[in-house]
Chain A
Amino acid sequence: MSAKPKLYYFDGRGKMESIRWLLAAAGVEFDEEFLETRDQYEKLLQSGSLLFQQVPMVEMDGMRMVQTRAILSYIAAKYNLYGKDLKERALIDMYVGGTDDLMGFILLFPFLSVEDKEKQRAFIVQKATSRYFPVYEKVLKDHGQDFLVGNNFSWADVHLLESILMVEEKKSDVLSGFPQLQAFKARISSIPTIKKFLEPGSQRKPVPDDKYVETVRRVLCMYYDFKAN
C-alpha cells in the first residue's frame, strides 16, 4: 500500500495551492508539513530533499518532487486528468499556461506595498477580463461542452476554476461579462471532489494575510520588496 503524498510548504497558498487543488480534484488524500521556522528550512536543505533548494516539494511514489509544473504534470497524468493523447495534452498545457500566467500576477500580490497593491489589483482585473477569461469563454461557447478539453474533466478545468475564484477575491463581479464562465464555475464547483475541497475544513488555504507574508520572509530570508507589474 503506497503512502499518501506529503506536501512540504508554508501554511498558505503560494505555489503549492494549485497542487492541493489538483490532488483534491483527483480525490487523493495528502499530508502536509508546514514550514514555520528558518531552522526547519535549513534542516530540509541539509537533508538534500530539495533538489534546487526550493519548495514546493512533494514526496510521492518514492520521489521527492520539486518544481511546481513538474509535480502538477505528474499528478495530472497519473490520475487521468491530462487528456487522451498528445494533442489534448497540448491543449491542456496551453490553457494551463494561460491561467498560470494569470495566477502568477496574484502570487506576488501579498508581497507588494500598499500603493502597489492597488495598482496590481487593477492590472490583474484588466488582464483577466481582456486577455484570459475571453479565451476560455470562447472555448466553452464554441464547443458547447461541459469541460474545456475533450469533453472530459481535466487539469485545465481545475486550474481555470482556481484562477476564477482567485480573481473574484480581488473583484467579486469580475465574471459579469462571461456567462459561459459563470455556468462553468457552477458546474465544476459541484463536482463531488471539488465541492468537498470548497467546504470549510478542507486543506484549501485562505487568502494570504500578513502572518503568511511574515512567515515566508522569515523562513526564506526574503526581505526585499516585489514590484507591481
Chain B
Amino acid sequence: MSQKPRLTYLNGRGRMESIRWLLAAAGVEFEEVYLETKEQYDKLIKDGFLLFQQVPLVEIDGMKMVQTRAIMSYIAGKYNLHGKDLKERALIDMYVEGITDLMQMILMFPFSPPDAKEKNIESIKERATNRYFPVFEKVLKQHGQDFLVGNKFSWADVQLMEAILAVEEKVPAVLSGFPQLQMFKTKMSNVPTIKKFLQPGSPRKPPPDAHYVETVLKIFKK
C-alpha cells in the first residue's frame, strides 16, 4: 500500500497552495510538515532533502520532488488531469502558465511595502480583467462546455478556480463582467472534491497574514 504524499512547506499558502488544490481536486489525501524555524529548514538542507535548497518539497511515490511546476505536472499526469493527448496537454499547459503569471502577482503581494499595496491591487485587477479573465471567458463561451479543455475536468480548471477565488479576495466584484466565469465558478464549487476542499477543516490555507510574512522572512533570511 503506498503512503500518502507528504508536503513540506510553511503553514500558509505560498507556492504550495496550488499543489494542495490539485491533490485535493484529484481526491488524494496528504500529510503536511510545517516549517516554523530556520533550524528546521537548515536541517532539511543538510540532510539532502531539498534538491535546490528550496521548498515546496513533496515526497510522493518514492521521490523527493521539488520545483512547483514539476510537482504539479506529475500529479496532473498521474491522476489523469493533464488531457488525453499532447495537444490537450499543450492547451492545459498554456492556460496554467498564464494563470500562474497572474497568481505570481498575488504571491508577491504580502511582501510589498504598505504604501505600494493599493497600487498592486490595481495592477492585479487590471491584469485579471484585461489580460487573463477575458481569455477564459472566451474559451468557455466558444465551446460552451463545462470545462476548459477537452470537455473533461483538468488541472487547468483547478488552477483557474483557485485564481478566481484568490483575485476575488483582493477585488471582490472582479467577476462582474464575466458571466461564463461566474457559471464556471459555481460549477467548480460543486465538483465533490473541490466542494470538500472549500469547506472549513480542509487543508486549504487562509490568506497570508503578518505572522506568515514574518515566518517567511525569518526562515529564508540570508
- B53 at the binding interface (Cβ < 8 Å): yes
- A161 at the binding interface (Cβ < 8 Å): no
Q: Which residues on the A side are within 8 Å of B55 (C-beta)?
A: none
- Known interface pairs A94-B51, A94-B65; A86-B93 also in contact (CB < 8 Å): no
Q: Please, how many angstroms separate the alpha-carbon atoms of A87 and B77 in the complex?
A: 10
Q: Which residues on the A side are within 8 Å of B98 (C-beta)?
A: 51-52, 66-67
- B81 at the binding interface (Cβ < 8 Å): no
Q: Is the CB of A97 within 8 A of B90?
A: no
Q: Is the CB of B93 within 8 A of A52?
A: no
Q: Which residues on the B side are within 8 Å of A131 (C-beta)?
A: 52-53
Q: Which residue of A lies closest to B101 (CB)?
A: A52
8 CB < 8 A contacts A-B: A52-B98, A52-B101, A69-B93, A70-B93, A77-B89, A87-B63, A90-B70, A90-B73
| Residue ranges of A at the interface with B (Cβ–Cβ < 8 Å) | 51-53, 61, 63, 65-70, 73-74, 77-78, 86-87, 89-90, 93-94, 96-98, 101, 131-132, 135
CB-CB contacts of B45-77 with A at 8 A, as 1s and 0s?
A: 000000111000000010101111110011001
Q: Which residue of B lies closest to A62 (CB)?
A: B87
Q: Whole-angstrom distance from the CB of B35 to the nearest CB of chain A?
A: 18
- Known interface pairs A65-B94, A67-B93; A94-B70 also in contact (CB < 8 Å): yes
Q: Which residue of B lies closest to A92 (CB)?
A: B70
- B131 at the binding interface (Cβ < 8 Å): yes
Q: Which residues on the B side are within 8 Å of A74 (C-beta)?
A: 86, 89-90, 93
Q: Please, how many angstroms separate the alpha-carbon atoms of A110 and B65 in the complex?
A: 32
Q: Is the CB of B52 within 8 A of A101?
A: yes
Q: Which residues on the A side are within 8 Å of B213 (C-beta)?
A: none
Q: Which residue of B lies closest to A70 (CB)?
A: B93
Q: Please, how many angstroms separate the alpha-carbon atoms of A97 and B68 in the complex?
A: 9
Q: Which residue of B lies closest to A132 (CB)?
A: B52
Q: Is the CB of B67 within 8 A of A69?
A: no
Count class of interface residues, chain B? 20 to 34
- B132 at the binding interface (Cβ < 8 Å): yes
CB-CB contacts of B21-60 with A at 8 A, as 1s and 0s?
A: 0000000000000000000000000000001110000000
Q: Which residues on the A side are within 8 Å of B94 (C-beta)?
A: 51, 65-67, 70
Q: Is the CB of B89 within 8 A of A73?
A: yes
Q: Whole-angstrom distance from the CB of A27 to the nearest CB of chain B?
A: 18
The 8 closest A-B pairs by CB, nearest first: A97-B67, A93-B70, A70-B93, A67-B97, A70-B94, A90-B74, A94-B70, A74-B90
Q: Which residues on the A side are within 8 Å of B119 (C-beta)?
A: none
Q: Which residue of B lies closest to A139 (CB)?
A: B51
Q: Which residue of B lies closest to A86 (CB)?
A: B77
Q: Which residue of B lies closest to A90 (CB)?
A: B74
- Known interface pairs A53-B131, A135-B52; A69-B86 also in contact (CB < 8 Å): no
- Known interface pairs A52-B135, A78-B86, A94-B66; A89-B77 also in contact (CB < 8 Å): yes
Q: Is the CB of A98 within 8 A of B93?
A: no
Q: Which residue of B lies closest to A53 (CB)?
A: B131
Q: Which residues on the A side are within 8 Å of B97 (C-beta)?
A: 67-70
- B78 at the binding interface (Cβ < 8 Å): yes
Q: Is the CB of A63 within 8 A of B90?
A: yes
- Known interface pairs A51-B98, A52-B132, A135-B51; A90-B65 also in contact (CB < 8 Å): yes
Q: Whole-angstrom distance from the CB of A133 to the nearest CB of chain B?
A: 11
Q: Whole-angstrom distance from the CB of A73 to the nearest CB of chain B?
A: 6
Q: Is the CB of B135 within 8 A of A73?
A: no
